[in-house]
Structure 1
Amino acid sequence: MLMSKEHDFTATLRWTGNQGSGTSHYKAYTRDWTLQSDGKPAIACSNDPLLGGNSALYNPEDMLIAALSSCHMLWFLHLASDAGIIVHSYEDNPVGTGESLPDGTGRFIRADLRPKIGLTPGSDTTLADEVHGRIHNHCFIARSVNFPVSITATYFDVTNSD
């Protein structure tokens, strides 16, 4: 019987939006904060602009869709390599769709991953699509979200320039 193994992922979040009077009223503070993990550079973050955040900074929703897309990409590269598919480039422009309710609560209702993948000419794109279909069983992030994730991949031939 295989035993599960727990992993801890840590981060330090530090609110940087105190403008002198704390949260004395709603407009007295900014929604800015930093995210940092040991040995990694800090990332300046804010709230979603719809909720008073700074649109020039990453927000939690940006990071969730980026984490989902990144996890999918890394598993695709791994499983494609195992399947003999040679990937030369990978770019995704994912879209996470959220809904906001009248009471101010919100949630993601779906995510659409749309990777554009450069493959060796003559690669089996049907097999590549099958690899995408298996990733949800492996990707830590995809297995953790409670909204549907669709994948619409496009492929193009790339001549190996290595």
Structure 2
Amino acid sequence: MSEYGATVAWHLKPGASFDYEHFNREHEWTFAGGEVVQASASPDYFGSGNRVSPDEAVIAATSSCHMLTFLSVAAKQGLKVLSYIDQPVGTVEKAADGQMAITRIVLRPRVVFDDGQEPDTAALDKLHATAHRNCFVANSLKAEIRIEPQ
């Protein structure tokens, strides 16, 4: 078992208003290694567009987990990956229960293998399916997660 944590901190600035449409959504996430992420609600919810939103973080974490699991599976199979680039897209909308949720995440990984190691489409799909099945972030989400290799 592993446990992970962070400090999420927000403070009302002196003299600032605190009503729904005007309170400042900017805050910080601080991780054990000292990394600080400047975060905010998305602009759709009165946040700042130049900071990471929780929605973006979930989508990025899903992609990152899939990538790291994919790389592990490939390495165990003796395949040398030269690069892996993904541009995931998530959709926030009303779910079947009427609650707002991230309902779908589409991963679009582009993987480059060492010369002569490029798997065929079926083998690549199997690598992604294995990575998806073993990604604990994906296993923790209700959202539909699709993988569309590029």
**TM-score normalised over the length of structure 1:** 0.82
Q: Which residue of 2 aligns with 1:134?
A: 130
Q: Which residue of 2 aligns with 1:61?
A: 55
Query: Sequence identity of aligned pairs in percent?
Result: 32
Query: 1:26 aligned to 2, 20, 38, which one?
Result: 20
Amino acid at match of 1:151: I
C-alpha offsets along residues 68-96 of structure 1, whole Å, 9 cap, x if unaligned? 00000001100011122221001000001
Structure 1 stretches of at least 4 aligned residues deviating more than 6 Å after TM superposition:
none
Query: 2:4 aligned to 9, 13, 24, which one?
Result: 9
Deviates more, 1:45-54 or 1:136-145: 136-145
Q: Which residue of 1 aligns with 2:42?
A: 48
Query: In structure 2, do the counterparts of structure 1 residues 23 and 12 end up closer, same or farther at CA, with 3 Å as the change threshold?
Result: farther
Unmatched runs of 5 consecutive residues or more in structure 2: none
**TM-score normalised over the length of structure 2:** 0.88
Query: 1:80 aligned to 74, 83, 88, which one?
Result: 74
Deviates more, 1:51-60 or 1:118-127: 118-127
Structure with the greater alpha carbon radius of gyration: 1
C-alpha offsets along residues 30-89 of structure 1, whole Å, 9 cap, x if unaligned? 001000012222111000110000000000001000000000000110001112222100
**Do the aligned partners of 1:35 and 1:43 also contact (CA within 8 Å) in 2?**
yes
Q: How far apart in 2 are the matches of 1:9 and 1:23?
A: 34
C-alpha offsets along residues 13-36 of structure 1, whole Å, 9 cap, x if unaligned? 0004x2324663234420010000
Q: How far apart in 2 are the matches of 1:32 and 1:143?
A: 29
Q: How far apart in 2 are the matches of 1:8 and 1:145?
A: 18
SS at match of 1:143: helix
The aligned length equals 146
Residue 124, structure 1, aligned to residue 119, structure 2: yes
Residue 36, structure 1, aligned to residue 34, structure 2: no
Which is richer in helix?
2
**Do the aligned partners of 2:69 and 2:131 also contact (CA within 8 Å) in 1?**
yes
Query: 1:107 aligned to 101, 105, 111, which one?
Result: 101
Q: How far apart in 1 are the matches of 2:4 and 2:144?
A: 24
Unmatched runs of 5 consecutive residues or more in structure 1: 1-5, 155-162
Q: Which residue of 1 aligns with 2:147?
A: 151
**Do the aligned partners of 2:22 and 2:46 also contact (CA within 8 Å) in 1?**
no
